[in-house]
Structure 1
Amino acid sequence: MKEYVIINTEKGIGTIEFFHPHSNSLPSHVLSQLTETITEAGENDEVKVIILRSGGDRTFCAGASFDELISIEDENQGKQFFSGFANLINAARKCPKFIIGRVQGKAVGGGVGMASVTDYCFATKYASVKLSELAIGIGPFVVGPPIERKIGLSAFSQLTINATEWQSAQWAKEKGLFAEIYESAEEMDAAILTLAKKLASSNPDSMRGLKQVMWDGTDHWDNLLLKRAAM
């Protein structure tokens, strides 16, 4: 099955879904499509709230495309690739709509970063997390700021340094990455729909203001994340 990024809007709820046959990894063109789709949903008056999810019932997101990573030959290529993550993170933080995360399975590297830029993240008990970058000779430089902002420096350091170890969904909830954990995807989806419906009928100006408050202090990320992409 070929990779895709799609959005379906129904009754004020815009559901963005991405998929890649390699465990929902994120090559540059998928990152770019996600960035554009989130930006457009933020500007669409018909969309009141966004659900961000991946296709399939196993891995939520395996992070950066390994094929692209191993093809990077110099600093400029590396900066160009990781700038894709920077652009996605900045699009999510600037989006005036609340983004609800749906994490059905494991999240690695950039996948943890994606979960951290949602405003309210649901997960199943199978949603273990890992920052594997150091184990393959790089670092989570670009995704670091949103993850650290969400779970704190201590937990971020634990994930970063112990790069081969999975942490459980319960650990991620205790640290603040996930708001709610469910036994199954079906239970999780029911809870997501309940919250999304409530938000779709809430005051959009109030939600826009709350989003600005929740992301206060991140205005410098446009420059910071591009600098990080070059590290």
Structure 2
Amino acid sequence: MNESYVTLSIKNSVGYIEFFHPNRNSMPSDILIKLKETIEEAGNNKSINVIVMQSGGDRTFCAGASFNEVMAVKNTEEGKAFFSGFANVINAMRTCPKIIIGRVQGKTVGGGVGLAAATDYCLANNFASIRLSELSIGIGPFVIEPAVTRKIGLSAMSQMTIDAETFFSAEWAKTKGLYSELFATTEELDEAVKTLAEKLSTYNPEALTRMKSVFWEGTEHWDTLLTQRAEITGALVLSDFTKNTLKRFR
């Protein structure tokens, strides 16, 4: 697979949203825009009762923001626009009327941790370690922080943020509440995701929607908050410290 994509397929009233990028599922602006639109499309599709969020490939769920695009940011407007990509996807997941099940089949970094945290119920395999590397390059996980803190708590979020060069194990993530269950193989993970999603799809859709709104009570200000956080990150990425750090990765 050499071409990036976002797809939506429907089976047994379950909408499977899959994203892919050949560079470890890192997320450029066009993929983030398409992912947001696809979540909204699935949320409005009456033939879908439950959504599964997954990525293609078998080694990495999501490597976060596209590093090439981060390095190409030239001004604060571009920076805010780019980092608003993850903000818009998280807000689309938050406001989507359908329950979203996450399927994490490998390592996830930065914004990818935010996507996992923004699902309503997340399953993973034992290889799904997580890292928030932003501070190590001079920015910070500002945009995804509300979603991650909401799911694993401020203490665990702070630990990951400060220990920015460490991958925390899938088992650690499960004990903190990011993952609900872990599986030894991807095949077992896929079977569990399918079983759960199809079972939920037989439940009362209205009850699921109302329960979803309860899960996300108190987050109504995130439309503004995450945009403000994107602006902070967009400015930091232009700092001399971050520019010099990024040059080492060219």
For the aligned pair, the TM-score class normalised by the smaller chain equals over 0.9
The aligned runs of 1:156-175 (5 Å cut-off) are: 156-175=157-176
Aligned partner letter, 1:174: T
User: Does 1:207 pair with 2:208?
Assistant: yes
The aligned runs of 1:13-162 (5 Å cut-off) are: 13-162=14-163
The CA distance in 2 between the partners of 1:112 and 1:54, in whole Å, is: 13
Post-superposition shift, 1:213? 0.3
Post-superposition shift, 1:165? 0.5
User: Does 1:187 pair with 2:204?
Assistant: no
Partner of 1:218: 219
Deviations 1:121-157 (A, max 9, x none): 0000000000000111111010110000000000000
Residue 22 of structure 1: SS of its match in structure 2?
A: coil
Residue 52 of structure 2: SS of its match in structure 1?
A: strand
The CA distance in 1 between the partners of 2:93 and 2:118, in whole Å, is: 6
Question: What's the Cα RMSD here?
Answer: 0.5
Structure showing greater Rg: 2
Aligned partner letter, 2:123: F
Partner of 1:10: 11
The CA distance in 1 between the partners of 2:141 and 2:50, in whole Å, is: 29
Post-superposition shift, 1:75? 1.2
The CA distance in 1 between the partners of 2:57 and 2:223, in whole Å, is: 32
With structure 1 as the length reference, what TM-score do the two structures score? 0.99
Aligned partner letter, 2:45: N
The 4+ residue runs of structure 1 with deviation greater than 4 A are none
Aligned partner letter, 1:194: T
Post-superposition shift, 1:3? 0.2
The CA distance in 2 between the partners of 1:137 and 1:22, in whole Å, is: 22
Residue 26 of structure 1: SS of its match in structure 2?
A: coil
The CA distance in 2 between the partners of 1:191 and 1:76, in whole Å, is: 43
Provide the aligned length of Structure 1 versus Structure 2. Answer: 231
- Structure 2 portions without partners, runs of 5+: 233-250
The CA distance in 2 between the partners of 1:227 and 1:114, in whole Å, is: 18
Post-superposition shift, 1:76? 1.1
Identity %: 57
With structure 2 as the length reference, what TM-score do the two structures score? 0.92
Residue 60 of structure 2: SS of its match in structure 1?
A: coil
Deviations 1:160-184 (A, max 9, x none): 1110011000000000000000000
Post-superposition shift, 1:74? 1.6
The CA distance in 1 between the partners of 2:11 and 2:103, in whole Å, is: 17
The CA distance in 2 between the partners of 1:40 and 1:160, in whole Å, is: 33
